[in-house]
A and B are shown apart, each in its own frame.
Chain A
Amino acid sequence: MTDAAVAISSVRKTFAGASQPALGGVSLDILKNEFFTLLGPSGCGKTTLLRMIAGFENPDSGAILLDGTAMARTPPNRRPVNTVFQSYALFPHMSVAQNIAFALEMLGRPRDAIRARVAEMMRLLRLDGLGDRRPAQLSGGQQQRVALGRALAPEPKVLLLDEPLSALDLKLRKEMQIELKRLQTETGITFVFVTHDQEEALTMSDRVAVMRGGAVMQIGRPADIYERPANLFVAEFIGEANLLPAICVDRTGHGGTFRLAGASDDDGAIAVADAGTLAPGQTATLVVRPERVALVPAQTTRLRGQAREAVYRGSDLMLHASLPGGAMLRARLPGDADVTALIGQVTGFAFPGDAVRAFAA
């Protein structure tokens, strides 16, 4: 594939002494100019994969191509990629300007070109006037921007970012998310971003690879992954989800009808637009996002439950209800919804068939 900035095929890695492989045969393509995120819980292999692209780890088997060139045993200093480290790893004995100039000096660029590029990076990252400071004299946000400037200065083909926002407080993190997206668009450099924060991944990425236990669970645009999770893990890991145990009772074309486990057809029936390969009689887990659940009068629906409590969360309100058979259903309502009269009452719930995902249990 000629469009791939990074092509990873069947990469395996097991660390000495580990019983489980860190990466169990991962294949994926990262396109040019793409903001690509590796998302997953700790230990899923996302950082190992990033470190392999950088050259800090070597795969046991499989290939990594950068811009079409195989990188199997190429050392980090000969790869056209640069890294923003989680700890920033700014050289403490050098000034901000010296840090940003470092890669250019190592590449033997002319002195004038280095000076011009450093000034350009300082402007791009809004570090003007801080060139003579030491890293220890900067705030966390400023250090973050120096780390970005240092890695972007040599114009790498790919910029690798290893959870770079995790040390910042929430407000600064939100600002940096937007700043990173702006930088990626302005520089046109491929960004590969590693995070365990699903919101961060959805906010910034063009595409996301969700990883777990050394394997890729799903690759797609943020909306694909959120709206159409490929499996239960992705559905649970990304955003909030209601997981409802159910039995397939009927199939019609793509769709099907399900009944909540332990409920009757009268008060626990759910229509699903795409039931996959599930056959009648099979048990399944249905996934539906709380914001797709609507409150309707009890007599107009075949799905009913008892409202238990309402949790106010500022921008919205989460209504918890127990369904027949014992499963809990959460419905996200507007923050100003008045549901106090509903608590303890049986009420009806409805959601469109295409809002439900069905997975074999």
Chain B
Amino acid sequence: MMRDQSLLRIPGASVIAALALVFLYLPIVTLVALSFNASDLTTIWTGFSVRWYAAVLDNGDMLRAAKNSLITASIATVLATAAATAATLGVARTRSAYRGVVEGLLGLPLLVPEIVTAVALLLLFVLVGAPLGLLSVILAHTVFCIPFAYYPIRSRLAGLDPALIEAASDLYASAWQRFLRIELPLLGPGILAGALLAFISSLGDFVITYFVAGPGATTLPVYIFGMIRIGVTPEVNALSAILLLTSIAVIGVAFLLGRRPASQHKGG
């Protein structure tokens, strides 16, 4: 144990850490717990029930929103991941002095306030006369998902021996053969992790979607926001809990894939 380095030797640190965790997770735990509340009133517990889950699955508007969310997330994930993979390989190959600038620009959308991106995208769509609908939502999601997909792929590539790529060329592989036979399989776990992160980001996005979605392109987060304006019902809790579970599952898979070391494929 490296006791000297540990923050825990500061008096009260463990208490503060515990409080911070409670602060982070108490609302989520409460939300999930209340989704099983039998009562019509969100905040008064009367007994255990799964009736709100049944109600969610019986709600046609809600199911349409869920369908929109899944369509958007799927298409945006595929497009963003493909773009991020191409960007990773392109940036790695360049010797340009602007390489750092390009990498920074790729990551910048993560730091720009979401509302700025939202307004900017809305203005762009209006300016070029693009109709607001599912297509505009998909395009917008593709854009903001690229950096989420980019970083896991890049860190995977950074863990690979650059000589592997050179070896493929040296052994007569064309650019396409090299991509299909060497780069794609070796980057695979990183690409999958990036895709899952992009999927989650798309699934949970509210602000940008709210700005660029037209009527009929309502996604789940936008739908939930609409429900809450009428009043918080346990149905919202149940729906949120389902979204939460989906996200945790997807992030868990991404995490496990990201932990696989780059060049050790024992067995198989």
Which A residues contact B (CB, under 8 angstroms)?
Answer: 16, 54-56, 75-78, 81-83, 85-87, 89, 91-93, 102-103, 106-107, 134, 136-137, 150-151, 154
Q: Which residues of chain B are within 8 angstroms of A83 by Cβ–Cβ distance?
A: 166-167, 170
Q: Which of A75, A92, A136 has the most CB of B within 10 A?
A: A92
B167 CB, nearest partner CB in chain A, Å: 4
Residues B167 and A89 in contact, CB atoms below 8 Å apart? yes
B10 CB, nearest partner CB in chain A, Å: 43
Closest to A81 in B: B170
Residues A154 and B172 in contact, CB atoms below 8 Å apart? yes
Q: Which residues of chain A are within 8 angstroms of B182 by Cβ–Cβ distance?
A: 91
Which of A81, A87, A89, A137 makes the CB contact (< 8 A) with B266? A137
* Cα(A71)–Cα(B111), bound, Å: 46
Residues B170 and A93 in contact, CB atoms below 8 Å apart? no
* Cα(A78)–Cα(B174), bound, Å: 9
- Tell whether A16 pairs with B95 under 8 Å between CB atoms, given A85-B163, A136-B266: yes
- Tell whether A77 pairs with B265 under 8 Å between CB atoms, given A16-B95, A85-B166, A92-B186: no
Interface extent on B, as a size class? 20 to 34
Is residue B185 contacting chain A, with contact meaning CB distance below 8 A? yes
Residues A89 and B164 in contact, CB atoms below 8 Å apart? yes
Q: Which residues of chain B are within 8 angstroms of A154 by Cβ–Cβ distance?
A: 171-172
Residues A103 and B95 in contact, CB atoms below 8 Å apart? no
Residues B264 and A92 in contact, CB atoms below 8 Å apart? yes
Closest to B262 in A: A92
Residues B264 and A136 in contact, CB atoms below 8 Å apart? yes
- Tell whether A82 pairs with B170 under 8 Å between CB atoms, given A16-B97, A89-B161: yes
B98 CB, nearest partner CB in chain A, Å: 12
Q: Can you list 26 A-B pairs with a CB-CB distance of less than 8 A?
A: A16-B97, A54-B166, A54-B170, A56-B169, A76-B169, A76-B170, A77-B169, A77-B170, A77-B172, A81-B170, A82-B170, A83-B170, A85-B166, A87-B163, A89-B167, A91-B186, A92-B186, A92-B263, A92-B264, A92-B265, A106-B174, A106-B177, A134-B267, A134-B268, A136-B265, A151-B171
Q: Which residues of chain B are within 8 angstroms of A103 by Cβ–Cβ distance?
A: 171-172
Q: Which residues of chain A are within 8 angstroms of B267 by Cβ–Cβ distance?
A: 134, 137
Which B residues contact A (CB, under 8 angstroms)?
Answer: 95, 97, 161, 163-164, 166-174, 177-178, 181-182, 185-186, 262-268
Closest to B96 in A: A16
* Cα(A55)–Cα(B263), bound, Å: 25
Q: Which residues of chain A are within 8 angstroms of B174 by Cβ–Cβ distance?
A: 77, 106
* Cα(A75)–Cα(B170), bound, Å: 9
Residues A76 and B164 in contact, CB atoms below 8 Å apart? no
B144 CB, nearest partner CB in chain A, Å: 32
Which of A54, A77, A86 makes the CB contact (< 8 A) with B173? A77
B156 CB, nearest partner CB in chain A, Å: 13
Q: Which residues of chain B are within 8 angstroms of A85 by Cβ–Cβ distance?
A: 163, 166-167
Q: Which residues of chain B are within 8 angstroms of A56 by Cβ–Cβ distance?
A: 166, 169-170
B63 CB, nearest partner CB in chain A, Å: 41
Residues B266 and A134 in contact, CB atoms below 8 Å apart? yes
Using A86-B163, A107-B172 as known contacts, list a sample of 20 further A-B pairs with CB atoms less than 8 Å apart, ordered by residue number in A.
A16-B97, A54-B170, A56-B170, A76-B166, A76-B170, A77-B170, A77-B171, A77-B173, A82-B170, A89-B164, A92-B186, A92-B262, A103-B171, A106-B173, A134-B265, A134-B266, A136-B265, A137-B266, A154-B171, A154-B172
Q: Which of B172, B178, B263, B265 has the most CB of A within 10 A?
A: B172
Closest 7 pairs (CB-CB, A-B): A89-B163, A103-B171, A106-B172, A89-B167, A76-B169, A85-B163, A83-B170
* Cα(A75)–Cα(B97), bound, Å: 22
Q: Which residues of chain B are within 8 angstroms of A86 by Cβ–Cβ distance?
A: 163
* Cα(A41)–Cα(B45), bound, Å: 77
A40 CB, nearest partner CB in chain B, Å: 21
Closest to B165 in A: A89
* Cα(A154)–Cα(B166), bound, Å: 16
* Cα(A88)–Cα(B160), bound, Å: 13
* Cα(A137)–Cα(B267), bound, Å: 8
* Cα(A236)–Cα(B97), bound, Å: 39
A158 CB, nearest partner CB in chain B, Å: 12
Q: Which residues of chain B are within 8 angstroms of A75 by Cβ–Cβ distance?
A: 169
- Tell whether A87 pairs with B172 under 8 Å between CB atoms, given A16-B95, A93-B186, A93-B265: no
Q: Which residues of chain B are within 8 angstroms of A82 by Cβ–Cβ distance?
A: 170-171
B264 CB, nearest partner CB in chain A, Å: 5
Residues B173 and A91 in contact, CB atoms below 8 Å apart? no
* Cα(A144)–Cα(B161), bound, Å: 16
Q: Which residues of chain B are within 8 angstroms of A106 by Cβ–Cβ distance?
A: 171-174, 177
A103 CB, nearest partner CB in chain B, Å: 4
